[in-house]
Amino acid sequence: MPERTALYDLHRDLGARFTLFGGWEMPVSYPSGTIAEHLAVRTGVGVFDVSHLGTVVVEGPDAFDRLQATLTNDLRKIGPQRAQYTHLLDVDGSVLDDIIVWWVDRERFHVMPNAANTENVTAALGGRDITRSRCILALQGPGAAALLGPLLEGAEPPARNRIVTGRIGDIEVRVAGTGYTGGPGVELEVAPDDAVALMERLLERGAVACGLGARDSLRLEAGLPLHGNELGPGLTPLNAGLGWVVAFEKGPFPGREALLAQQAAGVNPILIGVRSLTRQPPRAHDVLVDAASTAVGSISSGGYSPLAGVGIGLAYVDPEAAAGPFRAVRARGSLDLERAAVPFVDLRS
């Protein structure tokens, strides 16, 4: 049986359509549809149940050193009540998972892996999985702070990658300036028994309920990688253009030597953005060919951008062919594409 979050019944009452994701039965969309939910986040505020994402607690006097020796980024760049994006690598440099770390107290960290990877991340870090003892609501969009501000007592809505604790009525919440839509927003950690009341309050204040379909189209429009598509076996942070998440100077961590060797040899393939000239999108696994019909790469993620009004995609290509143009070849037909800068739209709020 798939896992369900504490909000499942509320999602059902709101008319959600469900999908299986990482072992969890999650809302993919609501009656208004994915495009409407996407636009609500870009122009106002939407709320997502992302409780399927893991939370692994790593705590104690050696917690900092354990994370420093295992993950790619450098925690010395931040401090308590801050969040950081980082990777867990295999010895060959492949990304086993991309992770957000919430440094919640001096010796306590909440490590947040992707749903399907929680068990492996827990084993790698020696932490404690508390996924089922909390819920996470992602309040995303330019209206998030204005909606949350009057509700949150004891703190102000946090800036990007900051963490605060407070109350919404009688509900205790931990709030981080994080999310995976590419725009402004926060994520709220709350006890499962309080999750329904919190989401209902956010909906009453004007947040639009959003599903995983909109979360995926939003992250793609922002050019953000998805584990299993842009990250995974045989794909390193350097392939994905995420060298900034690797702190070589901090000392040993799994995969460091492999990344140094890849850096010296030259990174191939590389991740780029592409777009069509029509609404028709490229799709994952489409083969990319150049003007001579030579295969030069493939689409890792594709979809329609509601803001740009065209099909967009992320693609792994040979760097010598990265300027394009391309054709995406599939079982039925093909699609002309050109290289595009990412993010695909202006996300400045």
Binding site as annotated, residues for substrate: 187
Estimate to the nearest angstrom the gap between the alpha carbon of 29 and the chain centroid.
Answer: 18
DSSP characters over 282-346:
P-TTPEEE-TT--EEEEEEEEEEETTTTEEEEEEEE-GGGTT--EEEE-SS-EEEEEEE-SSSS-
**Does residue 7 contact residue 135 with C-beta atoms inside 8 Å?**
yes
Give residue for tokens 């995926």: 216
Estimate to the nearest angstrom the gap between the alpha carbon of 228 and the chain centroid.
Answer: 12
Binding-site residues, in ranges, read: 187
Classify strands 17-21 and 24-29 as parallel, antiparallel or unpaired. Answer: antiparallel
Helix (H, G, I), strand (E, B) or coil at 178: coil
Torsion of CA 13, 207, 118, 258, to 10 degrees: 140
Residue 39, CB half-sphere, CA atoms under 13 Å: how many?
9
Q: Rounded to whole angstroms, how far apart are CA atoms 83 and 268?
A: 30
- CA angle, 254 then 256 then 257, to 5°: 115
Estimate to the nearest angstrom the gap between the alpha carbon of 210 and the chain centroid.
Answer: 15
Classify strands 108-112 and 95-105 as parallel, antiparallel or unpaired. Answer: antiparallel
**Does residue 164 contact residue 179 with C-beta atoms inside 8 Å?**
no
